[in-house]
Amino acid sequence: MFAIIGIVVLLVMVFGGFAITGGALGPVFEAIPHEMLIIGGAAVGAIVAGNSMHELKGIGAGFMKIFKGPKHNKQDHIDAIILTSRLMKILRSEGPVALESHVNDPKTSSLFAEFPRLLGNHELTALICDTLTLIVVSSGTLEVHAVEDVMDNAMKTHFHEQHEAQHALQSLADALPALGIVAAVLGVVKTMGSIDKPPSILGAMIGSALVGTFMGVMLAYGMVAPMAGRLKQVLEADEQIFHAVKQVIIASLHGWPQPLVVESARSGLGHAFRPGLSELLDAMRGR
């Protein structure tokens, strides 16, 4: 929602300010389609040339994230801590055999079924189940730091893939001013081919060429770069739930008391998703 509002404000302020100061919008609007054909076409071509189909799909999904915001809310983070804590409790109190039925096939697990939104996050579910399966099959012989290294590596790989769309958008933002210059230069070339025309016609042609530079800069710094920054914020917000799950598993393996395990996971969450300690403990007792 805020992304849409920001774009509307940008367009209104730029074109409205130009009109208020006496600028004629007609020639600008007349030139925009032709300049955008060059700039937009070049931008699309550059993105296609520089990315595989996997990355292109990721860019499309990235645009959806920009406008939809983070995938999980505060309650989801509470549920993730509760779910992981209950799984670790089963491991401690009932042993690996009792835990195995839950992590081997989480879709049929009665415990995972209580948290359908978390179950829908396949990467998060895989992190939990793969880590706990590793602990189960090792019969408790793994060192805690080794488990932590494995989880860090899995999260690093996932986060890197998720950020590819953001890097592609930032690269596009960096390229757009130059693509605007390309459109402007072509407009100047066209103007030079009509140098014998009256000054009024030449002026309109030069103005049309300059619209290319204007569009390239505005798109880069007014739209695409802010979108890349917003996507980075959303992705980093989506990463917090993974860190919370990891902290519960590692702290539990260290044998920390349950309140300290919960606090170590809760305190690592950003303010937008961080519940109060009492709120979280009450939620765990309620489950």
Q: Which of 151, 165, 170 is nearest to 61 (CA)?
A: 165
* CA–CA distance, 52 with 58 (Å, rounded to integer): 10
Tell me if 187 is assigned to some domain.
yes
Tell whether the model's pLDDT for residue 209 goes beyond 90.
no
Residue 208 pLDDT level (bands cut at 50, 70, 90): confident
- Exposed/middle/buried for residue 157 (C-beta within 10 Å: 0-12, 13-18, 19+): exposed
Structurally, the chain folds into a number of domains equal to 1
Tell me if 246 is assigned to some domain.
yes
Tell me if 141 is assigned to some domain.
yes
Tell me if 19 is assigned to some domain.
no
Q: Are 237 and 70 in contact (CB under 8 A)?
A: yes
Q: pTM of the entire structure?
A: 0.88
For residue 106, what are the contacts with CB-CB under 8 A and spacing of at least 6? Answer: 112, 119, 125, 128, 129
Cβ–Cβ contacts within 10 Å for residue 145, how many? 11
The amino acid at residue 181 is I
Q: How far is CA 214 from the centre of its chain?
A: 28
Tell me if 4 is assigned to some domain.
no
pLDDT at 8: 92
pLDDT at 140: 65
* CA–CA distance, 265 with 285 (Å, rounded to integer): 17
Find the DSSP H helices in the chain.
2-20, 25-50, 53-68, 74-93, 96-104, 110-113, 116-119, 122-137, 144-162, 164-192, 199-218, 225-253, 258-266, 277-286
Going 191 to 195 to 197 to 202, the CA torsion angle's sign is positive
User: What does the block give as tokens for 182?
Assistant: 């390309």
Q: Which of 27-36, 61-70, 145-154, 191-200 has the lowest mean pLDDT?
A: 191-200
Tell me if 75 is assigned to some domain.
yes
* CA–CA distance, 221 with 206 (Å, rounded to integer): 23
Tell me if 12 is assigned to some domain.
no
- Dihedral-angle region of residue 32 (phi above 0 means left; psi in -120 to 50 means alpha; beta otherwise): alpha
Percentage of residues in the chain having pLDDT higher than 90:
69
Tell me if 6 is assigned to some domain.
no
User: What does the block give as tokens for 11?
Assistant: 């367009």
Q: Report the chain's mean pLDDT, rounded to a whole number.
A: 91
- Domain holding 164, by residue range, is 24-287
